[in-house]
A = this chain, B = another copy of it.
Amino acid sequence: MGEKRDYHMSPEEFRHWGYQTIDWLVDYRQKVEEFPVLSQVEPGDIRAKLPSNAPQQGESFAEILADIDRIIMPGITHWQSPNFFGFFPAGASAPSILGELMSSGLGVLGFLWATSPACTELETHVLDWLIDMLGLPDHFKSSTGGGGVLQDTACSAAIVSVIAAREQKKADINRLVAYTSTEAHSSLEKAVRISGLRPENLRLIDIDHHYAMSPDRLEQAIKADLQAGLIPCYLAGTVGTTSSNAIDPLTRLGAIAQKYDLWFHVDGAMSGTAALCPELRWIHQGVELADSYCFNPHKWMMTNFDCNCFYVRDRLKLTNALSIMPEYLKNEATDSGKVIDYRDWQLPLSRRFKSLKLWFVIRHYGIEGLQHYVRKHVALAKEFAQWVKLDPAFKLVVNPPLNLVCFRHQGGDLINQEILNRINESGTMYLTSTKLDQKLTLRMAIGQAETERENVKLAWKLIRSVAEKIINDNDFTCQISTEKAA
Contacts and interface: CB of A to CB of B under 8 A. Distances in A.
Given A55-B363, A324-B189, A75 B119 contact: yes
Interface string A145-165: 000000011011001000100
A68 B30 CA distance: 29
Contacts of A291: none
Interface in A46-68: 46-47, 50, 53-59, 61, 63-64, 68
A350 to B, nearest CB: 5
B156 A347 contact: yes
B117 A305 contact: no
Contacts of A373: 7
A28 interface: yes
A366 B58 contact: yes
A116 B75 contact: yes
Residue from A61, A328, A369 whose CB has the most chain B CB atoms within 10 Å? A328
A210 interface: no
A195 B124 CA distance: 28
A181 interface: no
Contact of A129 (B23, B53, B195): B53
Nearest to A72: B118
A348 B195 contact: no
B94 A79 contact: no
A197 B367 CA distance: 45
Interface stretch (A95-103, A310-318, A388-396, A458-466): A95-103
B350 A305 contact: yes
Contact of A195 (B196, B242, B243, B453): B196
Residue from A25, A197, A432 whose CB has the most chain B CB atoms within 10 Å? A25
Contact of A23 (B15, B91, B118): B15
A63 B5 CA distance: 40
A223 interface: no
Contact of A328 (B7, B376, B443): B443
Interface in A312-351: 321-322, 324-330, 332-333, 336, 338-339, 347-350
A442 to B, nearest CB: 11
B13 A18 contact: no
25 contacts: A1-B379, A7-B369, A15-B26, A17-B98, A18-B94, A21-B102, A22-B101, A25-B102, A43-B336, A44-B121, A47-B121, A54-B129, A54-B366, A57-B369, A73-B118, A76-B116, A79-B109, A87-B328, A90-B107, A153-B349, A163-B194, A186-B326, A193-B322, A194-B347, A328-B433
